[in-house]
Amino acid sequence: MSSESGPAIAVASLYQPNLVTRQTGRAVRDGIERLMAERGETIAVIDFRDVAVIDFSCADEVVAKLVMGSAGETGDALPRFVLVRGVREHHLDPVEGALRRRGLAVSAERIGGEPVLLGEVEPEAVAAWRMLAACGRVRTEELARRLGVDSGSCASLLAGLLRRRLVRRNGDAFESLSFSASSASNPSDRIPHAKG
């Protein structure tokens, strides 16, 4: 699942201040999916910094359905990931509501870069995700030592996070999506934003 040259980074800057309605969300998601389809392993970085309002239906169409697709729930076998950047307090309820309704989660960053896990995740997996986010890149044994758990339990937690596309495997180590996205060689790929 790892890529020697690293993942493609597709940045979706959502310049619209108001993301409301399923129609708008579908148009935005379609643009992101088209760009992702042109690549192999991809991290779609969705930039919420300019979004003043997002409603539940738009959050469901953009974030939840992209996460579903990245986790292979739509029949796509390519390794794809979603990272939401620029999250503010007013984004949390609609995005988390859409994710929790479907039993999903997404890696995110608040304004200022603080990593946050949005959606539905077991407490043990959240602890592993947070430690990995703090490290950036780490091997299973090192993460197990830091968490104070055995390597087998840690490997199981990481496998679950990887299956849900909340972390990325790179060789013999695991990476947070923030680390992978900031380390990639092509961070300037842009997804045209769609007007709803």
Contact between 36 and 82 under an 8 Å Cβ cutoff? The reply is no
3-state SS assignment for residue 46? strand
Which tokens belong to 193? 């934003």
- Comparing CA positions, the residue from 193, 194, 185, 182 lying closest to residue 85 is 182
Q: 3-state SS of 66-95?
A: HHHHHCCCCCCCCCEEEEEEEECHHHHHHH
Contact between 74 and 68 under an 8 Å Cβ cutoff? The reply is yes
| Residue for token pair 């359905």 | 65
Task: pLDDT tens for the chain, 196 residues: list them.
Answer: 444 467 888 888 887 889 999 999 999 999 888 888 877 788 999 999 999 999 999 999 999 999 998 765 544 556 789 999 999 999 999 999 999 999 999 999 999 999 999 999 999 999 999 999 999 999 999 999 999 999 999 999 999 999 999 999 999 999 999 999 988 655 444 444 444 3
pTM of structure: 0.87
Query: What does DSSP say about strands 42-47 and 80-87: parallel, antiparallel, or unpaired?
Result: parallel
Residues forming a β-bridge with 119 = 105
Q: Is 185 exposed, middle or buried (0-12, 13-18, 19+ CB in 10 A)?
A: exposed
Helix (H) or strand (E) run with residue 183 in it: helix 177-183
At 140, give phi and psi (nearest 5°).
-55, -45
pLDDT value at residue 70: 79
Contact between 126 and 93 under an 8 Å Cβ cutoff? The reply is no
Distances (CA, A) of 77 to 42, 61, 135, 191: 12, 20, 28, 21
